[in-house]
Structure 1
Amino acid sequence: MGHLAKDKGKLVARVRRLQGQLEAVARSLDEDAPCGDTLQLVASVRGALNGLTVELIEEHVRNHVVDPEHEADPERAKGAADLLAVVRTYMK
């Protein structure tokens, strides 16, 4: 995903935060924390991973398929915008 080079630092920082969240899940399991607390940690990891996934998919679509903000064909622009909206909604 070479086109992400300008935002690479931000993406790597997000991945490192995810690593920290996963380590918190592991500690929670090791320490026999209450199930609800562990499940909350897992839900947080899932949300963070979904957010990262949406960002990567959106950048891929905009750079390799069609960027709705710069597409001259209104139908293609609407189709791409609709696809991105569905992906964002699905990944919430």
Structure 2
Amino acid sequence: MLQTPEEKKRTITRLRRIKGQAEALERAIENGTGCAALLQQIVAMRGAANGLMAEVMQSHLKETFGFEAALASPRSQSVIDEEISEIMKILKTYFK
């Protein structure tokens, strides 16, 4: 679950952007736009969806591992957040 109102707002904004891209793609197909332009729009949508997935995944990692790890370990929350950020950097390379 997205934890803060800021995370929720950012996620909804991303989702609305993807919705707008999907609607634009639908209009482009209806208007007979060429395949190259359609592919470009699809790639943009995929990038936006991957960004959304990364953001939700990061929230999930923080929720799942950050809180429980902070209770089980004397490490500070900032160290845990840093470790989660490192995991996200690796995962984001697979989203491209």
TM exceeding 0.5? yes
| Alignment-derived partner of residue 84 in structure 1 | 88
The reply on whether 1:12 has 2:12 as its aligned counterpart is: yes
Aligned residues: 88
* Cα shift readout 1:30-78 (whole Å, capped 9, x = no counterpart): 11101000100000000000011001101110121137xx7729xxx58
Unaligned runs of 5+ in 1: none
| Percent of aligned pairs sharing the same letter | 28
1:1-92 matches, cutoff 5 A: 1-66=1-66, 72=75, 77=80, 80-92=84-96
Q: In structure 1, what is the Cα distance between the partners aligned to 2:95 and 2:2?
A: 24
Describe the SS at the equivalent of 2:3.
Answer: helix
Alignment TM-score, normalising by the size of structure 1 = 0.78
CA distance in 2, matches of 1:14, 1:26: 18
TM-score by length of 2: 0.75
Structure with more relative contact order (C-alpha pairs < 8 Å, separation 6 or more): 2
Q: Conserved in 1, the CA contact under 8 Å of 2:54 and 2:92?
A: yes
CA-atom RMSD, angstroms? Answer: 2.5
